[in-house]
Chain A
Amino acid sequence: MTKRTVHLAAHFPGVNNTTIWNDDRAGSQIDFSSFRHFAQTAERGKFDYLFLAEGLRLREHKGRVHDLDVVGRPNTLAILGAIASITEHIGLVGTLSSTFNEPYELARQLATLDHLSNGRAGWNIVTSSDEFHGANFRRGGFLSREHRYTRAEEFLEVSRLLWESWAPGAVVADTGSGEFVAEGALSEVDHHGPQFDVSGFGTLPRSPQVQPVIVQAGDSADGRDFASRSAEVIFSAHSDFDKARAFFSDVKGRLAGVGREPDSLKILPGVTFVLGDSAADAAERSRETALLQVSPQTAIAFLEQVWGTDLTSYDVDGPLPAIDPVLDSAIVKGRAQVITDPVAVANAWRAKAEAEKLSIRDLVITFAAKHTFVGTPSFVASEIDRYVQAEASDGFVIVGSSNPTGLDEFVDRVIPELQDRGVYREDYTPGATLRENLGLPSLERSFATLA
């Protein structure tokens, strides 16, 4: 039986405690040289795509900008446009909100990226809708939580109408006859739905991929349904082997019901790694890395997210607070994960810390700086291969721990091991689109039931 192919994406280390900024390796988070190095390293490693998260508002902690992690990033579409022109093969995927954008403009910008990159654009659709982020946008917190995916699906539907509104070969540019666009080649979009009223003509010919590769990360039941209907890649949060297998089987199982093939949706969990010359060396480096990723102040701030109150008087090397969390304190704003039952979380954390004899900082490290793959390059490659062959994933989104060189070691040491195993490309296929690099079926095959 042929081996399943490993697909890899590279996540630009961003606004998160896992991005180390306080050691010698850490460079700029915003200078283009960092993005250039990251992109060219990922392309050297033959990654399927690189990935950039989006910012809509600076995160806040206790009423102020959260200042313990790296802060600041570029505009997603703009930086992907820049990276497109200095790379040749690698896919370019960015997070873009379907809530705080309008389809006419965003679809056009994504089509532009697809044209400029010769078919390497991808779009990670996110659906944040809270008032905190909305305060930076014209319509504020206009969208209720239950309509997030309604809007995302309709957004995508309108975008597809625009992407397909110019017939293939619409631009003839016949200098003799004077015909620039062919007769009847441009069709008018006329969409009216609960979220959008969009009528008129698109401004671009069909791009090489027609539509960018659609990526989705939501994990709720709504999110999984949306992904099974509309996405081509899931950026999954399930990196534990058993959970990853369960997630893989759940989501792939939904595809038949919507007339899609299992291979038309790739599942790529986000993972971290620490390499070493031996298992012991890697474990030691993992500990050192974790201490940089969870400073004493960061450990306290993590606890405060649950306890909802100031805990700066606690010793991070001591036990967890005995006091109960303050409910509805709203001291944390702008984070993707919402803690719904702080008392239960606090109790669980205290129990875990007691049972495993963990200090505050040690406990926080177990979830905020837990490295997925720790070991020799050969071990890490074997783990990646194991997940993929066992259908726990189709590959991974690799998150390095610093900029700009956090991915270098992985590319230099793990990629050759994967290639030796015959499960990873030796080189790109010249001219391949992102959809082709991911081994996805054509749009027509992937979404046959939509037509």
Chain B
Amino acid sequence: MTTNPLHLGIALDGAGWHPAAWRDGVGDLFALPYWLGLVATAERGGIDLVTIEDAVGLQSSGFGGLDPRRDEVRGRLDALVLANAIAPHTSTIGIVPTVTVTHTEPFHVSTGIATLDFVSGGRAGWRVQVSGRAHEAAHFGRREVGPFGEQTIRELFDEARDVVEVVRRLWDSWQDDAVIREASTGRYLDADRVHNVEFSGRGFSVHGASITPRPPQGQPLVFALAHQTVPFELAVSSADVVGITPHTDEQLEEIVAEIASIAETAGRDTPLEVWTEIVVLIEDSPDAAAAALARLDGLHGDPLVSDALVLAGTPAAVAQQLLHWHRRGVQGVRVRPARLPRDLDAFVGGVVPLLRSAGVLERPAATTLRGRLGLGRPANRFEGAIS
């Protein structure tokens, strides 16, 4: 077995990552069968995890306010509830919903992901996301979000760090052996093995232990997508996997070096996996791929713009890019299919076999997502503490 596998995630969102993808015909995005079909394909292809995009508001084509476009997919199911509905129909793949931390309750976020870990038998993850949009703040009406800039970003990510800290403490707040069922003393639980998290931060505090026992993985996988220094710092302080979006080898080197330097300064002593992100549109020939992309761009009215590298090409071209990254030290790739299910089918059918032949897809025998990625089950931070 290779000691250095390439990990693979598929990012699911609506009809795919090209805003005109739905124009090829689309299933019912608001019903379960569509999602079960996508995840079944990914699982059949031996993919390590799927992520599910989400936000606390309607999609918009830019980062700013809402736009009036009616020619793109609008509307989304709540990713956490959807992930839990998907989990019982899968057996090996990791399920990683996006859950926003800015306006939500850390306590509910923690129990929601912990429950997903129980439902999936240890295959839960969480893609942490902040909300910096003013119109999303207006959905809650509890606070203003400042103008987009350095200070606002800092505040949002400081809060995100606090939320992840609370969520992680809550996951650990029950020791694995807290339930004792001891008839002689009448005790179901050993209260000394359940710990209040007693978190007090700048923006909020959470006092008690979780209502949910420690999840099977101990700590479900935390994934953070990051594009600049402040989010890199969040990834270093809080995540297990960081997703980055280099478009060139130079950018890749710079980002990896910056993350390494932040990790060193922070004294992080556990591994942080670095994954790259890529939008793929896959056809059998380079010309067909270029034509398909041009057609969608034409339908949409503008060329596809993405934070991540966009590759319209053959299965071989996609595999080559992934293997190239892998040789340069990247540990995983989160693939964003431009068209769903089409480019997911093509990835599983065409790219995965090439990666397998290249010998980068062997995995440890593991039933949990952490285990699959070669991450251990973490010790409980409260173990040995007096409650």
Contact = CB atoms under 8 A, between A and B. Distances in A.
Interface string A107-138: 01100110110100000000000000001111
Chain B CB within 10 A, most for which of A26, A105, A180, A199: A180
Interface string A196-210: 111111111100000
A26 B181 CA distance: 10
A201 B80 CA distance: 20
A136 B107 contact: yes
A132 to B, nearest CB: 9
A105 B56 contact: yes
Given A36-B88, A112-B82, A298 B186 contact: yes
B258 interface: no
Contact of B77 (A22, A26, A77, A204): A204
B71 interface: yes
Contacts of B84: 78-79, 81-82
Interface string A20-61: 011000100011100010000000000000000001111000
Interface in B181-207: 181, 183, 185-191, 194, 203-207
B257 interface: no
Q: Name the residue among A21, A78, A136 with the largest chain B CB count within 10 angstroms.
A: A78
A179 interface: yes
Contacts of B142: 102
Contacts of A104: 56, 103, 139-140
B208 to A, nearest CB: 5
Given A116-B85, A175-B24, A201 B58 contact: yes
Q: Is the interface of A mostly helix, strand, loop or mixed?
A: loop
Given A72-B211, A72-B212, A297-B186, A78 B105 contact: no
Nearest to A35: B119
B30 interface: yes
B16 to A, nearest CB: 13
A73 interface: yes
Nearest to A182: B70
B190 A67 contact: yes
Interface residues of B, number: 78
B206 A136 contact: yes
A74 interface: yes
A331 interface: no
Given A64-B191, A180-B73, A297-B186, A105 B103 contact: yes
Contacts of B207: 135-136
A179 B36 CA distance: 26
Interface string A152-180: 00000000000000100001010100111
A74 B204 contact: no
B141 A79 contact: no
Interface residues of A, number: 73
A310 B133 CA distance: 53
A183 interface: yes
A100 interface: yes
A78 B116 contact: yes
Contacts of A201: 57-58, 66
A343 interface: no
Residue among B32, B75, B174, B209 with max Cβ neighbours from chain A (10 Å): B75
B23 A196 contact: no
A70 interface: yes
B112 to A, nearest CB: 4
Contacts of A183: 70
A203 B114 contact: no
B71 A179 contact: yes
Contacts of B135: 200
Nearest to A100: B105
A166 B83 CA distance: 24
Nearest to B78: A112
B88 A86 contact: yes
B75 A74 contact: no
A203 B80 contact: no
Contact of B81 (A32, A70, A81, A197): A81
Most B CB contacts (10 A, CB to CB) among A32, A72, A179, A298 go to A72
Given A57-B208, A72-B211, A205 B30 contact: yes
A68 B186 contact: yes
Most B-side CB within 10 Å, residue of A82, A108, A198:
A82
A404 to B, nearest CB: 14
A64 B213 CA distance: 17
B25 interface: yes
A284 B309 CA distance: 72
B366 interface: no
Given A112-B82, A137-B107, A180-B71, A204 B211 contact: no
Given A21-B181, A71-B189, A81-B82, A199 B139 contact: yes
B77 A112 contact: yes
B115 interface: yes
B5 interface: no
Contacts of A179: 70-71
Nearest to A176: B23
B121 interface: yes
A200 B22 contact: no
B105 A115 contact: no
Contacts of B32: 84-85, 116
A69 interface: yes
Contacts of A81: 80-85
B299 interface: yes
A85 B88 contact: yes
A178 B298 CA distance: 12
B112 A78 contact: yes
A272 interface: no
Contacts of A22: 181, 183, 188
A168 B311 CA distance: 38
Contacts of A72: 174, 179, 189, 211-213
Contact of A136 (B26, B75, B185, B208): B208
B87 interface: yes
* Top 7 A-B pairs, shortest CB-CB distance: A197-B141, A297-B186, A55-B211, A81-B84, A78-B115, A75-B111, A135-B207
29 contacts: A22-B188, A30-B213, A65-B194, A65-B209, A67-B187, A67-B189, A67-B191, A74-B212, A78-B84, A78-B115, A79-B115, A80-B81, A82-B85, A85-B36, A104-B139, A109-B78, A112-B77, A112-B81, A116-B32, A137-B107, A175-B23, A178-B23, A180-B74, A198-B140, A201-B66, A203-B57, A205-B75, A297-B186, A298-B186
Given A136-B208, A179-B70, 12 more contacts: A30-B118, A55-B212, A58-B194, A67-B187, A71-B179, A72-B179, A79-B84, A81-B83, A135-B206, A136-B206, A200-B135, A204-B75
Interface of A: 21-22, 26, 30-32, 36, 55-58, 64-65, 67-75, 77-82, 84-86, 100-102, 104-105, 108-109, 112-113, 115-116, 118, 135-138, 140, 166, 171, 173, 175, 178-183, 186, 196-205, 295-298
